[in-house]
Chains A and B, each alone.
Chain A
Amino acid sequence: MEDLLIKIEKRNDVPTTLYFFTPFIAIILTIIGGGIIFYTLGFNPIEALKFYFITPISNLYGFSELLLKATPLCLIAIGLSFCFKSNNWNIGAEGQLTFGAIVGGGVALLFYNQEGFYILPLIIIGGAIGGMIFALIPAILKTYFNTNEILVSLMLVYVSKLILDYLVVGPWSNPEGFNFPETRQFSDSARMPLLFEGLRIHAGIFISLAAVFVSWFVLYKTYLGFQIKVSGLSLKTAKYAGFKGKTMILIVFMISGACAGMAGVGEITGPIGQLHRMISPDYGFTAIIVAFLGRLNPFGIIFASLVVSLTYLGAETAQIFLQIPQYTGQVFQGMILFFLLASDYLLFFKIKFQNFNKNELRH
């Protein structure tokens, strides 16, 4: 009598290089998996993958669109990394983005018929404050009332979208807009400056890049960053070390909310130019994938935001050229996350197959 025994053991010596290498493995596996899906759907996998990953960025316009898409994803993911690193599960970045856009958009509408250099900074600050306020709700409820921040932050997404709905349908709707659910167009001073004539890439990218460097500095060079990391590794240790847990929770949520709020402002003052009901194709949720794919590392997040943006653009291109359903983009994002989590599991745990003889037990 022989049986197969599967044992799962934790690995103690995971090399850091391998830890940062697994996202690449996940991407390669996703590409292979995608190829198989395309093949079974009856497409030439090489051709389909080419349209997916190469065609979208084969010209300057395509590349600028990639950066345009990555700009909000990167910024939100940077903010989320503060929360996730310290074991605070802020799932509601989409809501913070929306509320930031509401406050920022409100400022923009206040100045709808005025021009001035001060308008755009005011809008950005407004967006950051809006996102911050909205992120403080789950943070305060968590610290003082012990609620679950996952649930609260997620539910607030719907609250923010309903507030936006109410505003663009009602009090803020364009008086000359035939009752269509959208606000007036913002004035030119309320728009992000474009970097190149004819391309949509705008100055918001500098906010994202600044966030990358600032977050790197804060996380790796300051006492606050140290607190965040220790709390993430072990809450008990953090308490023992005398860190003020509550303040830190409030701070990471505020950072996260401010980033999401500014990302929302970047969208409405950048490519959109007004408020309406669909200001974000779920950037706040996609940024969660981006944050983890980037290993919660500021520079990793830049890379991850580009990869995930490419899955969006690729889905459009593949549909235009091969009529592959657009939803494959979501399948790709799902696969990336799946393969990343799976390879993480194999990285941190080893699976041992052992043969053992039941008879031996009797001895």
Chain B
Amino acid sequence: MYKNFLRYLISAIFLITFSISAKADFKVGFVYIGPTGDHGWTYQHDEGRKAVEAAGIKTTYVESVKYGADAERVIRQLAQSGHDLIFTTSFGYMDATNKVAKDFPNVKFEHATGYKREHSNVSTYSARFYQGRTILGHIAGKLTKTNTIGYIASFPIPEVIRGINAMTLAAQKVNPNIKTKIVWVFSWYDPGKEAEAAQALIDQGADIIMQHTDSTAPVQTAEKAGIWSFGQASDMQRFAPKSILTSIIDDWAPYYVERAIAARDGTWSQQDTWHGLKEGMVAMSPYNKGMGADLVKEAEQLQKDLASGKIHSFTGPIYDQKGNILVAEGKVADDGMLLGMNVYVKGVEGDIPK
């Protein structure tokens, strides 16, 4: 009797602990480089997370996670605390993501903008933001009076260089005298530095400002100076209602929902995704009517053609700064060239920081 009772007790304890440690809920974790309130990069990733949540899947996020030693711990902690799918949403998490993935083969990892997929449970994804830059270039080329476009850049990585080149090529097509001036701030999110950079570019004669950084400081500076600007990553229109012509929007939501559901249902597999206007991962916010009805129409047409593939952002002939040919006439740059892009095209001023 007593022995039986003990046996029941032990098996009951076993059952309870087992059912607690067994996976109760499917959970998705997100690691962010900035605060969710940056109204740029991280904000859009968090919008994507909310869409996953709305699809009935539990999510967790950790914001402002620094590159380096902290990133690996946070990712590992998410994996350890029962998250089944983890999105690491900045380039600098690449090595940490792969390291943790090795130790958690049952957890799926999705790393944004990286190229390392060292284990079968790591996927990478990014968006063809350069397609949006082509539209910005077209508008900027038409609207600039000083023929000088100011560009606030973060890091001299292919991703950013590609954007600068795509914009410059499109602007040159409509205005051969265009010059692109660049200030490197060496940060993704630093409102103070970004505002200073915008002011410096305005002082050098730029009458259109665009950015490859995440805060709203540049567009606000442009608004104050009474010149045009373009928003980055999310619709920044409300921060500079007069100045903003359009914003390139990163829409991660459909991808996140699709991948989360796939992971939950067991159909997730490793892949490398690079979506653009066609799939909707890159979108444009409503065009500012201040640019004129004709230009709005042109921009909309260009957006359609880029999405359908009729127009490619990098169509030859494309020359580098010294005049060497990069892409021959009639050819388009392949993805390999785009992914490793590390030279400026003709018309961009200055050198890539080395």
Which residues of A pack against B, CB within 8 Å? 61, 65, 68, 165, 169-171, 173, 178-181, 198, 200, 267, 270-272, 276-281, 313, 316-317, 319-321, 323, 325-327
Contact = CB atoms under 8 A, between A and B. Distances in A.
A68 B60 contact: no
Contact of A316 (B77, B339, B352): B77
B217 to A, nearest CB: 20
A326 B73 contact: no
B157 A180 contact: yes
B191 interface: no
Contacts of A276: 67-68, 92
A319 B354 contact: no
B118 to A, nearest CB: 13
A335 B65 CA distance: 22
Contacts of B60: 320-321, 323
Nearest to A68: B69
Contacts of A323: 60-61
Given A170-B354, A276-B92, A316-B73, 9 more contacts: A68-B69, A170-B353, A173-B354, A178-B342, A179-B352, A181-B156, A271-B72, A316-B77, A320-B60
A329 to B, nearest CB: 10
A68 B68 CA distance: 13
21 contacts: A61-B76, A169-B353, A169-B354, A170-B353, A178-B158, A178-B342, A179-B156, A179-B157, A181-B155, A198-B103, A200-B69, A272-B69, A278-B67, A278-B92, A313-B73, A316-B62, A320-B60, A320-B62, A323-B60, A323-B61, A327-B64
Nearest to A273: B95
Contact of B77 (A68, A165, A320): A320
A161 to B, nearest CB: 10
Interface in B63-102: 63-70, 72-74, 76-78, 80-81, 91-92
A272 B72 CA distance: 9
A170 B339 CA distance: 20
B352 A278 contact: no
B29 A320 contact: yes
Contacts of A320: 29, 60, 62, 74, 77-78, 81
Contact of B74 (A180, A278, A316): A316
A313 B115 CA distance: 29
B14 interface: no
Contacts of B274: none
A70 B339 CA distance: 40
Contacts of B115: 178
Contacts of A179: 156-158, 161, 342, 352
B72 A326 contact: no
Nearest to A170: B354
B62 A165 contact: no
Contacts of A313: 73
Contacts of B61: 319, 323
B186 interface: yes
A319 B68 CA distance: 19
- Counting chain B residues whose Cβ lies within 8 A of the other chain, the interface size class is 35 or more
Interface of B: 29, 60-70, 72-74, 76-78, 80-81, 91-92, 103, 115, 155-158, 161, 186, 339-340, 342, 352-354
A278 B156 contact: no
B62 A200 contact: no
Contacts of B74: 316, 320
A281 B71 CA distance: 11
Q: Which of B76, B77, B91, B115 has the most CB of A within 10 A?
A: B77
Contacts of B78: 320
Contacts of B342: 178-179
A165 B186 CA distance: 8
Given A61-B80, A170-B353, A319 B62 contact: yes
Contacts of B81: 320-321
Contacts of A272: 68-69
Nearest to A278: B67
A68 B73 CA distance: 11
A347 B65 CA distance: 38
Given A267-B69, A320-B29, A326 B62 contact: yes
Q: Which of B63, B78, B115 has the most CB of A within 10 A?
A: B63
Contact of B157 (A178, A198, A325): A178
Nearest to A62: B77
Contacts of A169: 155-156, 186, 353-354
A73 to B, nearest CB: 12
Contacts of A271: 68-69, 72
Contacts of A165: 186
Question: Would you list the 4 A-B pairs with minimal beta carbon distance, nearest first?
Answer: A271-B69, A278-B67, A170-B354, A281-B66
A104 to B, nearest CB: 15
A178 B73 CA distance: 26
Contacts of B64: 326-327
